[in-house]
Each structure stands twice: as C-alpha cells, then as structure tokens.
Chain A
Amino acid sequence: MISIRDIHKSFGSNKVLDGISLEVAKGEVLCIIGPSGSGKSTILRCINGLESYDQGEIRIEDKVVDRKGEHIRWIRTHVSMVFQRFNLFPHRSVIENVIEGPVFVKKQPRELALERARALLKQVGLENKADAFPKELSGGQQQRVAIARALAMEPRAILFDEPTSALDPELVGEVLSVMRSLAEQGMTMLVVTHEMSFAKEVADRVVFMDGGKIVEEGPPAEILAHPKQERTQDFLRRVTHPM
C-alpha cells in the first residue's frame, strides 16, 4: 500500500536519503531503526509530504506523494502521523484536538465526530480526560491523545516518528501498549523507534538504516538477533550495551 522507489534527498550538500526503496503491505507493522541522522525520520516525513524529496517516487496506493500535487490532501487524510513531541493543539481541549480533523477537514457532523472521539479516547484509556487541556496531561497521556487524533482521521496507515523518545521512561509503556493493540487490530504502521523490545515483539519487519541507506531488512528475529551487516551489529551493540 506504501511504495517507496529509489528516493534521494539532500539538505544542501548533506545527503540524507541516498536511494531508499521500500514496500509496505496493508496491515504490516514496520519498524525503522538506526542511528540519529540516518534519515529514518526524514523518510517518514516524505511519506506524508511534510518534506519533499529530490528524486524517486513515493506512492500511497495508486497516488503519488507530491507536496504541491493534487493528491496531497487525500494522502494526508489517509496517512496519519504521530510526532515525537506530540504537537497537540495547546489551545484546544483533548476532545477538540481529536475532532479537529474530522470536523474541519472531513466535514463530519460535530455530534458524530464527538461520539467517535469519545470512543477513541476510551480506546487509548483517556475517556475521563476529554475536557482537559494538553498542558494538564503527562507526556504519555498527551501522546495517547495524539494517537487518538491520528485515528480520528480513519487512516489507512499511521506513521510514528519516535513516539516515545520524548517521554520519561516510566511513561513509555502506556504508549507502546496502545500501539501494540493497534497493530493487533491490523493497522498498517511505520514506526521509527529506539524501542528494540517493541520492534522485536510487534514488528513484522525491521529495517536498519544508516547514512541515508537501508543497510539491512528482514524479520525482527533475524535483524535484531542475528544481523548480518557489521554496521547493524555495531548499532545494536551500542543500543543494548550503552556502557
């Protein structure tokens, strides 16, 4: 459903994506791991057109992703994104954050959107926070609201850009468990993450990126436990044994 073919991108003279090709099937959970600066967030941002690319082609189903193209609105309403720093709208309550897209972009009747938003908040375990404001919530709660906001668009896929990296360690679990249950329900997910245990248990496939290239990809058991490439082995050693 997401098809990435030979993507290149540079910021000035700095090449951040150097020929990335990737296919993501419907219902697949794909984790992208790699050192910072490897281009893993950039590829995610290219998929829903937050970032442009210089060369190659990204397609969502049969539609080409082009920031300035006619399909960009279709793409963004069908592929949602969850950000590292949550990016909730601080001036709106939790439930207003969730219904913003359905009401103002998809033109759903407010009552219907509110009803669905309540169900989604229940799904992420925050039904009693509907009227709170983002600043009154913990990071983990904010990120769960952000997931509910993404789900409210009824997306065909969700992109997660390091969704737990800005969280205190004790709050990581609640966000990952929401993500895990989404995966179990068959949501197509692309997750850029440093949570190796999540990748190991939930991902169908793990991609290791370094220097703007895909170094190695395969089932988590293979990539995480028995990586073939030296760079992957190196990275995993540093992640699992930081000292």
Chain B
Amino acid sequence: MATTFWHDVAEFTPILIQGAAVTIEITFASLLLSTVLGLGWALMRVSRWPALALFSKGAVNLIRGIPILVLLFYIYFVLPDVGIQLSAFQAGTLGLGIAYSAYMSEVFRAGIEAVDIGQIEAAQSIGMTGGLIMRRVILPQALRISLPPYGNNLIMLLKDSSQTSAITVAELAMESKLIAASTFKNLTVFSLGAVGYLLMSIPLIMLVSKLEKKLGGRK
C-alpha cells in the first residue's frame, strides 16, 4: 500500500510540476496585465475629468459583476466568432488580467486616497501641478500603502488561475484532473495538487505579512 503510494507520487509529481510551472507563468502574466490595467482604472477614477472617472467606475463595476469563469468562457469561446482567435494561455491571461484589474484598481485607489492631503498642498506650494504631483508625490506613497493588499490579491490570483483549467490551460489543476481521470487515484492526485498550491502561496503569504509589519511600523 505504502509502496504504491510513493510510486504514484514519484510518477505524478513531474507532470504536476509542469502544471505548476504553467500556473506560475499565467499568474505572473495576468498579474502584470491586471497591475497596468488596474493602475489605469485608478488614475482615471481620481482624475479631474468626470467623464473618465465615470467610465472607470462603470468598467470596474462591470468587471466585478461578472464571474471569472464566465469572462474566461467569453474570451475563449465567443471572441473567435468575431475573428479573434486566442490560445488557451492567452485567453486565460487576458481573462484573469481583466478580472483582477478591477480588484487592483480598488487597491490602488484606496492607496491614492490614503495619501495625506497635506502632501498635495505641500507639492502645490512649491509650484507642482497635476501629473507631476501624481508621479513624484502621490504615487510613490500610494503604492507603498497598497503593497500589502496588492500581495493579498496576488495570492488570490494564484489560486484563481486554477479556473483557467476550464478553458484547457494546462496548469496545475488541469493536470491534476487529467491524471485523476485516467488513474482514479483521486486522493493522491488532488492532495498533491493542493500541496502544490500551498507551496506556491505560503511564500507569498509570508511576504505579505512581512510587508504589513514593515509598512505598518513606518507610520
């Protein structure tokens, strides 16, 4: 019994590691996309042009209101009908990136709004204006404030990347499911899969709590 178990572990692990590698790739690709997009939404939201702010608010609420899975199906199955053919990995990155841009934008916006108004006044009093104040004074402080919740989003993104298995991205959850379907070793396979996610998220969890301590102590 025990020997079969270790035999299975040795057999499945290399395949699962390949899946985990894809999980890491898609997590970081969509992290990049969601960060850029999210920062864009946040800057639009706090801009002085009401039309931009309203557009950003609407877009973020629309994105937040749609399940990630449905968004993924839409990008992977519907876009080809209008001539946009994406690989599963591309569609997964795009879907996760868009979905998480909404959460990222709220994190950045909270950070921007948490910067003391006195900072903006000090910047204005030395002749700085709009874009310069944002770039030199507000964003550096806002991003620092945003780091812990940003890290939390990254942990959730890592786990939510498993949803791309539904559009055939060969990441960790997908590989687990495939092995389980062909071997019926559900307990072994899915336990290994869970351990795989834990091994990836625990360093991130530790990083976030370290950041929280460090940045919390600065005030």
> A interface vs B, CB < 8 Å?
48-50, 73, 76-77, 80-81, 83, 85, 87-91, 100-101, 104-106, 135, 149-150, 153
Q: Would you list 19 pairs from A and B whose C-beta atoms are within 8 A, ordered by A residue?
A: A48-B125, A50-B121, A50-B125, A76-B126, A77-B126, A80-B126, A81-B122, A83-B118, A83-B125, A87-B121, A88-B122, A89-B119, A90-B218, A91-B144, A100-B136, A104-B128, A105-B128, A106-B127, A149-B126
Q: Select which of B119, B121, B125 is within 8 A of A80 by beta carbon.
A: B125
Q: Is the CB of B127 within 8 A of A73?
A: yes
How far, in whole Å, are A91 and B119 apart by their CA atoms in the complex?
Answer: 11
CB distance from A175 to the nearest CB of B (A): 17
CB-nearest residue of chain A to B140: A91
Q: Is the CB of A89 within 8 A of B132?
A: no
Residues of chain B in range 99-137 having any CB-CB distance to chain A below 8 Å: 116, 118-119, 121-129, 132, 136-137
CB-nearest residue of chain B to A48: B125
Q: Select which of A88, A104, A149 is within 8 A of B136 by beta carbon.
A: A104
Q: Select which of B127, B141, B144, B218 is within 8 A of A105 by beta carbon.
A: B127
Q: Is the CB of B128 within 8 A of A135?
A: no
Q: Is the CB of B127 within 8 A of A87?
A: no
Contacts A90-B218, A91-B140, A150-B125 known; 4 new A-B pairs at CB < 8 A: A77-B127, A81-B121, A104-B128, A153-B127
A residues less than 8 Å from B137 (CB atoms): 89
CB distance from B217 to the nearest CB of A (A): 10
CB distance from B43 to the nearest CB of A (A): 19
CB distance from B142 to the nearest CB of A (A): 10
CB distance from B127 to the nearest CB of A (A): 4
B residues less than 8 Å from A89 (CB atoms): 119, 122-123, 137
CB distance from A37 to the nearest CB of B (A): 19
How far, in whole Å, are A89 and B140 apart by their CA atoms in the complex?
Answer: 10
